[in-house]
């Protein structure tokens, strides 16, 4: 028997059983960099009475934008990407290697659920994979690419990942969307149950991707910002003394982000979930930072969702030793029944637990409002901020203008309420009052924000 020809035939069979997923992997990784693991792994599926080439999953290692990574990709061409016990064992081996070598993991997900006929055995397999993924949280970065329909427990890998990319027509759900829709008394298409636009409150959709090239670019940019995989400070030609006079006239969140971060250096994660809180990874003056920018016309009121989003982001910054910066335009807790009867207060303490993990620089900039709990959580020195500063036209107060004026000037019954609110802002909410007590280190002109931020980061960076 010609063993070479036999090997070639066997290899051709394996490649044929996963041609589409291999194309997806090739589009994601750097050219000719993918090396497969357990390439000839087979098992007998008793229910379908057939041997399954490759276990319905392709695993291996490669480079993405020159960064080494491990990849576990579900193969929808084999039994609809159905998960089996051996399928899970193959993924687990890949995750163990990622842990051993301290390298990121990329999941490419596309599965309709478990393979029928394996019973509890496949559940044990899933338990081993999910537990390992959970243990890798904060140890190595995990990325999930939702590359089609993903139902059942495989969807939890996206929830456990630090960043999830939804490809066009991707659908993710813990059960069949049709079952979920029916049990909800509706008849919705699957996209309206588990599509990226339907999951605006799940905090799972980090990015919507146009294609694998887009995913590769974003993963490369994220890894380039993490000190464990790239330099915490790089020389990128950024102007360290750049002033932006237009910020003195008006300062929107968009204008602030553009002014502070070096060109083409930053990514915004999870835009669809609580969009009033913008989570940015980027560089300023070549220094990698994680930043939360509050974005609202009248100041962001806090609720269970936006606090949870911030908490997850702070936790990520802590795990990967990034300096953390808040750009504050924040009020107190949202005053409504839904927020009162929610996890909002519990999530506040989850956020403070996440703060306690931060060991690098922690900087607060009040660029509009820091009112009540908004000040306490995101600007207070006693919350652990190393350096706090405010724009000259910012407002720092116990109450927002209208409520504060009502309390502060209660004796002036017939006075114009708008004038009283303006007076409260000028006299009581002026950030110079906080600076007098040492709570704000500096009150600055908006146009010089990048200079001050870089200077403070250079002194505090660990």
Half-sphere exposure of 135 (CA within 13 A, CB side): 13
Query: Any residues with CB less than 8 A from the CB of 256 and at least 6 apart, and which?
Result: 247, 293, 327, 367, 449
Structure confidence at residue 106 (pLDDT): 98
> pLDDT tens digits for 110-165?
998 887 777 899 999 999 999 999 999 999 999 999 999 999 999 999 999 999 99
Structure confidence at residue 125 (pLDDT): 93
Does pLDDT of 418 surpass 90? no
Average pLDDT over residues 92-96: 97
Structure confidence at residue 163 (pLDDT): 98
Which range has highest mean pLDDT (50-59, 69-78, 371-380)? 371-380
Higher pLDDT, 240 or 95: 95
Structure confidence at residue 414 (pLDDT): 56
Higher pLDDT, 21 or 142: 142
Distance spanning both ends of the chain, measured CA to CA: 63
CA distance linking residue 190 with residue 206, whole number of Å = 20
Structure confidence at residue 51 (pLDDT): 59
Which among 141, 146, 57 has a CA at the least distance from the CA of 105? Answer: 141
CA distance linking residue 252 with residue 77, whole number of Å = 48
Q: Which of 13-22, 172-181, 219-228, 255-264 has the lowest mean pLDDT?
A: 13-22
> pLDDT tens digits for 356-371?
999 999 999 999 999 9
Structure confidence at residue 180 (pLDDT): 94
Q: What is the 3-state secondary structure (H, E, C) of 155-203?
A: HHHHHHCCEEEECCCCEEECCCHHHHHHHCCCCCCCHHHHCHHHCCCCC
Does pLDDT of 202 surpass 60? yes
**CB of 93 closer than 8 Å to CB of 72:** no
Q: What is the mean pLDDT of the chain?
A: 89
Structure confidence at residue 31 (pLDDT): 96
Average pLDDT over residues 174-187: 92
Structure confidence at residue 405 (pLDDT): 44
Query: For residue 404, what pLDDT band results from cuts at 50, 70 and 90?
Result: very low
Assign 31 to helix, strand or coil: coil
Does pLDDT of 428 surpass 80? no
pTM: 0.90
Token representation of residue 442: 């500096």
Query: For residue 174, what pLDDT band results from cuts at 50, 70 and 90?
Result: very high
> By percentage, how much of the chain surpasses pLDDT 70?
86
Average pLDDT over residues 193-211: 95
Structure confidence at residue 362 (pLDDT): 98
Structure confidence at residue 194 (pLDDT): 96
Q: Which of 19-23, 144-148, 221-225, 439-443 has the lowest mean pLDDT?
A: 19-23
Q: What's the Cα-to-Cα distance from 79 to each of 104, 115, 443, 444, 455, rounded to whole Å? A: 28, 7, 63, 62, 57
Structure confidence at residue 84 (pLDDT): 86
Query: Any residues with CB less than 8 A from the CB of 336 and at least 6 apart, and which?
Result: none
Average pLDDT over residues 248-268: 96
Looking up tokens 């993991």 gives: 105
Structure confidence at residue 83 (pLDDT): 87
Does pLDDT of 88 surpass 60? yes
> pLDDT tens digits for 323-362?
999 999 999 999 999 999 999 999 999 999 999 999 999 9
Average pLDDT over residues 185-198: 94
Structure confidence at residue 214 (pLDDT): 96
Average pLDDT over residues 210-226: 97
Does pLDDT of 8 surpass 70? no
């Amino acid at each position: 028997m010609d063993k070479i020809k036999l090997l070639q035939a066997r290899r051709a069979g394996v490649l044929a059983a996963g041609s589409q997923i291999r194309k997806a992997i090739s589009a994601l990784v750097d050219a000719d960099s993918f090396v497969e693991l357990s390439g000839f792994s087979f098992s007998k599926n008793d229910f379908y009475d057939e041997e399954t080439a490759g276990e319905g999953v392709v695993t291996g290692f490669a480079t993405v934008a020159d960064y080494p990574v491990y990849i576990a990709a579900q193969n929808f061409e084999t039994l609809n990407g159905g998960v089996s016990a051996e399928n899970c064992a193959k993924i687990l081996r890949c995750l163990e290697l990622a842990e051993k070598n301290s390298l990121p993991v990329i999941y490419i997900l596309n599965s309709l659920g478990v393979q029928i006929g394996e019973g509890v055995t496949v559940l044990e397999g899933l338990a081993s994979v999910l537990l390992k993924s959970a243990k890798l949280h904060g140890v190595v970065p995990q990325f999930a690419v939702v590359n089609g329909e993903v139902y059942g427990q495989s969807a939890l890998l996206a929830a456990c990942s630090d960043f999830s990319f939804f490809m066009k027509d991707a659908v993710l759900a813990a059960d069949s969307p049709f079952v979920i829709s029916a049990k909800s008394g509706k008849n919705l298409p699957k996209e309206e149950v588990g599509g990226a636009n339907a999951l605006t409150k799940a905090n799972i959709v980090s990015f919507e991707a146009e294609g694998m090239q887009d995913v590769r670019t974003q993963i490369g940019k994220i890894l380039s910002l993490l000190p464990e995989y790239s330099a915490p400070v790089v020389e990128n030609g950024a102007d360290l003394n750049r002033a932006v006079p237009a910020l003195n006239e008006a300062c929107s969140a968009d204008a602030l982000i553009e002014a502070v971060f070096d060109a083409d250096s930053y990514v915004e994660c999870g835009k669809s979930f609580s969009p009033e809180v913008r989570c940015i990874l980027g560089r300023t003056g070549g220094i990698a930072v994680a930043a939360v920018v509050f974005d609202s016309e009248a100041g962001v009121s806090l609720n269970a969702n936006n606090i949870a989003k911030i908490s997850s982001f702070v936790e990520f910054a802590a795990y990967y030793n990034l300096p953390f910066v808040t750009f504050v335009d924040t009020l107190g807790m949202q005053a409504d029944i839904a927020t009162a009867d929610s996890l909002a207060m519990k999530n506040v303490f989850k956020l403070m637990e996440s703060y306690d993990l931060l060991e690098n620089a922690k900087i607060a900039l009040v660029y509009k409002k820091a009112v009540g709990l908004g000040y306490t959580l995101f600007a207070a020195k006693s919350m652990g901020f190393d350096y706090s500063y405010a724009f000259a036209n910012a407002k720092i107060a116990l109450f927002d203008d209208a409520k504060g004026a009502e309390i502060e000037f209660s004796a002036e019954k017939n006075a114009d309420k708008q004038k009283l609110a303006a007076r409260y802002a000028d006299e009581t909410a002026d950030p110079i009052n906080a600076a007098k007590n040492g709570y704000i280190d500096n009150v600055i002109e908006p146009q010089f924000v990048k200079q001050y931020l870089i200077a403070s980061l250079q002194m505090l960076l660990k």
